[in-house]
Homo-oligomer: A and B are copies of this chain.
Amino acid sequence: MTTTARDRMLLAKDAARTIGLLTDADKRDALRAIADAIEAAATDVVAANRQDLERGRAAGLSEGLQDRLRLDEPRVAALADAVRDVAELPDPVGRILDERTLPNGVALQKVSVPFGVVGSIYEARPNVTVDIAALALRSGNTVVLRGGTAAELTNAALVEAMRGALAQRGLDPEAIQTVDEFGREGARELMSARGIVDVLVPRGSAQLIETVVTQSSVPVIETGAGVVHIVLDATAPLAWARDIVVNAKVQRPSVCNAVETVLVHRDAADRLVSPVVAALQAQGVTVHGDAIVSRLADGVVPATDDDWATEYMSLDLAMRVVDDLDDALDHIRRYSTHHTESIITEDAANAERFLAEVDSAVVMANASTRFTDGGEFGFGAEVGISTQKLHARGPMGLAELTSTKWLARGAGQVRA
């Protein structure tokens, strides 16, 4: 009987040997079986979820978190459909990324291979349990999950269904592991499992990600917060400025690619501030402005220094007038979380300068920051949006869940 989090991780590592060698067709079949099994287990999953919710309510879990946690039959069906979508994506493993023949005839190939074991630490969203497991398996990896304690029974029911589907197809069920029942100790073990777990993907609050990044000796892919900026340059057309800022704030305020701060060029302030603020307010947005913004538009809340560093994730937006593009770039350098920034301008030179100088995962000219998204980029699925520079930056697709390996085929060559 498996008794420790470490035992579970070693089982995942062992299973990675066979999962990593599966064919494209095998992996697709496995995911389709998992999707079917999740649907078949819907009653059990919803029942487990009801227990989690009751426990959560008793413990004073907020309405918002309860909603994230809640699964009903249609939501379970949506989870299964998402797995079927992942099954249809092209296999990221076995791509030949480089090929060269050495002067002595040794043939080299750089090919994409699975990482091996992918770990994930996340909060009480049961959909992550299924998403990460499906993405990991599609890319030939096994997975060790540590979800929030609030979703423990729901996650256990989902994991049981997925493991059952693997076993039914003759695949190693140990490919999907959870360390939820080991609580915080499970998370600690996962963060110190260097040599067993190949990469750790935290998903959740800035605080959770910060904890994992600073405590983990397993390499981490950081999917960070977005203090996202839009710069309205001197030549920004009003229609673009208004439509893009409203879209970037209002369409889905709670996500990391939503804009938080708008910087307006001094020469455009008289022309743009009042109508852009009015358009935002018409959609229910509270604008936190500096002194000039407050003078140019009605109903603006005075901004404090904290506003510039805040990822509101709500219908709030900070707005400041800057002297020029240099001033805007300075502000971004100081406050950006290096996720996404956009400039609205008709000045091509300023657009190119902005694209070159801003040090963020995605830098845009004349487009909504909401486009920073694996689905929008055409990746078919999104593992997360990386705000680090190592390995992956920006929206991550299945390819970012693979590593590489060099293969060398010779005929007895030795080094001179």
Q: Which residues of A contact B (CB under 8 A)?
A: 17, 21, 100, 102, 106, 108, 110, 113, 115-116, 194, 198-199, 213-214, 217, 219-221, 237, 239-240, 243-244, 246-248, 251, 333, 342, 351, 355-357, 359-368, 370-372, 376-378, 388-391, 393-395, 403-415
Contact = CB atoms under 8 A, between A and B. Distances in A.
Contact of A356 (B21, B246, B360, B367): B21
Contact of A368 (B213, B219, B243, B413): B413
Contact of A414 (B357, B368, B388): B368
A409 B351 contact: yes
A415 B357 contact: no
A403 B359 CA distance: 11
Given A102-B371, A377-B100, A199 B389 contact: yes
Contacts of A214: 194, 217
Given A102-B378, A213-B194, A367-B106, A359 B412 contact: no
Contacts of A376: 102, 415
Given A219-B219, A378-B100, A367 B403 contact: no
A406 B362 contact: yes
Given A214-B217, A367-B408, A367-B410, 5 more contacts: A102-B378, A365-B408, A366-B410, A367-B412, A391-B391
A414 B115 contact: no
A406 B361 contact: yes
A217 to B, nearest CB: 5
A361 B411 CA distance: 20
Number of identical monomers bound together in the oligomeric complex: 2
A115 to B, nearest CB: 5
Contacts of A356: 21
Contacts of A221: 390
A412 B247 contact: no
A176 to B, nearest CB: 20
B378 A403 contact: no
Nearest to A344: B412
A251 to B, nearest CB: 6
